[in-house]
């Protein structure tokens, strides 16, 4: 994983920064400011209650809901492009095959819609898992984080392929991902304190700084995902190496 970061830190930094700026600006300008009042009710811009009162006043208006959905859509698209271009860059770099930004974006465009679709399906399954005693939801969250991005980006595979690939290596792979996610959460908590200390609440600087602070974690998680996916492919088929994955990317490009 350290080798991935050392080899591909420049394109990963550019990709993660771009994604952070897009998402930061989107949530600052599109999503209404939501705060928790002293009485525990949610309030939007200007202190308007978002929780409907008994007399029917307040509540999240249709336009506000539209803005939330718009922001989530932008977030999904930005994340899909960031992840697919990042995985593309890491695999090409590892195989010693140069690439251009245009080629990476074309590849991402061919994968983004598919990845977004499977992320939505995975999210629904995770929510169902949380509804069933919580533990299945946690398991599915870690499992999909471990397998889905590599399967969809490299193979154009499905959720069924995720279970097939993990096979007997599921527990070791998910164990490593659990540690990575725990470290990521701890970093984000510390980063949140730093952001709040250096910026004004609900300001543009807070949104952008939060995105910038998340960049190192994003780069690290890309490295973790690619390494675990490559190891799963190798254990499935001893001949599957970095050059194999790069060749699969090239077949997709054609």
pLDDT, tens only, 146-156: 999 999 999 88
Judged by average pLDDT, the poorest of 47-61, 95-109, 123-137, 229-243 is 47-61
Locus of tokens 């007997």: 168
| Residues paired with 43 in a beta bridge | 35, 49
Task: Specify whether the CB–CB gap between 153 and 87 falls below 8 A.
Answer: yes
In whole angstroms, give the CA distance from residue 98 to residue 96: 6
Helix (H/G/I), strand (E/B), else coil: 123: helix
| Residues paired with 42 in a beta bridge | 36
Distance from the first to the final alpha carbon of the chain: 29
Local confidence band at 84 (pLDDT 50, 70, 90 cut-offs): very high
Q: Is the pLDDT of residue 58 over 70?
A: no
List of E strands, the chain: 35-36, 42-43
Task: Specify whether the CB–CB gap between 234 and 173 falls below 8 A.
Answer: no
Local confidence band at 254 (pLDDT 50, 70, 90 cut-offs): very low
Task: Please tell me the pTM assigned to this model.
Answer: 0.83
Q: Is the pLDDT of residue 103 over 70?
A: yes
Neighbours of 37 (CB within 10 A): 12
- What residue ranges do the domains of the chain occupy? 2-25+75-253
């Amino acid at each position: 994983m350290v080798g991935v970061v050392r080899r591909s830190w420049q394109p990963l930094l550019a990709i993660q920064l771009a994604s952070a700026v897009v998402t930061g600006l989107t949530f600052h300008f599109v999503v209404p400011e939501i705060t928790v009042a002293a009485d525990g009710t949610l309030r939007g811009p200007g202190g308007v209650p978002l929780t409907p009162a008994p007399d029917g006043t307040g509540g999240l208006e249709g336009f506000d809901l539209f803005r939330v959905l718009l922001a989530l859509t932008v977030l999904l698209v930005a994340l899909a492009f960031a992840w697919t271009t990042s995985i593309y860059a890491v695999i090409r770099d590892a195989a010693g095959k140069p690439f251009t930004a245009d080629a990476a974006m074309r590849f991402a465009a061919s994968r983004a819609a598919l990845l977004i679709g499977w992320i939505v399906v995975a999210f629904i399954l995770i929510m169902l898992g949380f509804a069933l005693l919580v533990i299945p939801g946690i398991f599915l969250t870690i499992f999909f984080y471990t397998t889905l991005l590599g399967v969809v980006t490299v193979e154009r595979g499905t959720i069924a392929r995720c279970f097939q690939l993990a096979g007997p290596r599921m527990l070791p792979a998910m164990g490593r991902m659990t540690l990575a996610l725990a470290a990521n959460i701890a970093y984000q908590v510390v980063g949140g304190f730093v952001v709040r200390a250096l910026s004004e609440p609900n300001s543009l600087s807070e949104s952008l700084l939060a995105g910038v602070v998340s960049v190192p974690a994003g780069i690290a998680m890309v490295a973790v995902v690619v390494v675990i996916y490559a190891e799963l492919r190798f254990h499935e088929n001893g001949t599957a190496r970095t050059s194999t994955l790069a060749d699969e990317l090239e077949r997709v490009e054609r």
